[in-house]
Chain A
Amino acid sequence: MPLDQSFVGRTYPPTAPYEVGREKIREFATAVRDLNPAYLDPEAAKALGHPDVIAPPTFPVIIAIPAAYQAVEDPEFGLGKSWVVHGDQRFAYQRPMRAGDRIECVVKVEAIKSIAGSDMITLVSELRTVEGEPVCTAYGLFVVRPETSDSEGVSTAEAKAEAKAGES
């Protein structure tokens, strides 16, 4: 069943502030094996003109994905037991996220489209400091597949796992 178009434009309340810490940035950078000094060494970051260590470009996902689940798991949305797959991800940076930032995230349902029997939801997440300074805009496209879908390969499988993980 196609998703309700009236959800386009729905905006969720700001998430609780996430405090970006030097050690979390270090943990994330190490996990992606990216040891750029700008992530690890405050002096190196300052030499590049940053007030403190900055976060890698994909770090905001730590904040954006849990925020997106507000929409994906909104019972009124009616996704029910459908599977949700992460299809696209894009970030536009107003400035690098950095240690010391306290970030809140506002998620908006930007678009709902139906292509070849799959609903696609575009969520736009505005990440900003609690002082109101814009830091990053995250665009995520999520593909919804009906539970009965047995379409090929990975997407459906990944979606099932996503759904399962979402239940836990």
Chain B
Amino acid sequence: MPRYESLAVGDELPSQSFPVNRADLVRYAGAAGDFNPIHWNERFAVQVGLPNVIAHGMFTMAQAVRVVTDWVGDPGAVVEYGVRFIKPVVVPDDGVGASIEVSGKIAALLDDNKVRVDLTALSAGQKVLGRAIAVVRVP
């Protein structure tokens, strides 16, 4: 686990790339209880004007925080986490799917051994989350 005194503003966390395909969205829909058809039904998604099926925003939110929880080790160290959903992650049924590229940077060292990490999440070159911020407590 990273130690507070060894960290500095601007330090980068290890970036990660998270693949997402249609099966992931179906599995997430079931696990989270969110069966909105835009996340699994291409006919419906196109009918309402989307380019294709899109990932659940909360699925993307779950992926992005892994850059923080994998870095810190104990996910219970996360004391705050928020995002803004600004663009969808489009998931085509092409045997490949999409990917979400997530990077994180230490934005502030707070009191009580808390660290603010600002996250960037991209899919197909577009920023999909805005104001993605996690606060973690480290030893």
Contacts and interface: CB of A to CB of B under 8 A. Distances in A.
A84 B7 CA distance: 41
A133 B66 CA distance: 27
Contact of A62 (B33, B59, B79, B80): B33
B28 A32 contact: yes
B61 interface: yes
A20 to B, nearest CB: 13
Contacts of B107: none
18 contacts: A28-B32, A33-B63, A36-B70, A48-B76, A56-B65, A56-B75, A57-B78, A58-B58, A88-B84, A90-B80, A91-B80, A93-B79, A154-B49, A154-B54, A157-B49, A157-B50, A158-B48, A164-B37
Contacts of B82: 88-91, 139
Interface in B12-68: 18, 24, 27-28, 30-38, 44-45, 48-50, 54, 57-59, 61-63, 65-66
B49 A153 contact: yes
Interface string A129-168: 0000000000100000000000001101110111011000
A22 interface: no
A16 interface: no
B104 to A, nearest CB: 14
B4 interface: no
Contacts of A160: 48
A92 B50 contact: no
A52 to B, nearest CB: 11
Contacts of A162: 36
A55 to B, nearest CB: 9
B113 to A, nearest CB: 15
Q: How large is the interface on A (under 10, 10 to 19, 20 to 34, 35 or more residues)?
A: 35 or more
B88 interface: yes
B131 to A, nearest CB: 8
A34 B57 contact: no
B83 interface: yes
Nearest to B1: A48
A62 B32 contact: yes
Nearest to B24: A33
Contacts of A161: 36-38, 44-45, 48
A158 B50 contact: yes
A34 B58 contact: no
Contact of A32 (B35, B62, B73, B131): B62
Contact of B28 (A31, A39, A95): A31
Contacts of B44: 161
B87 to A, nearest CB: 7
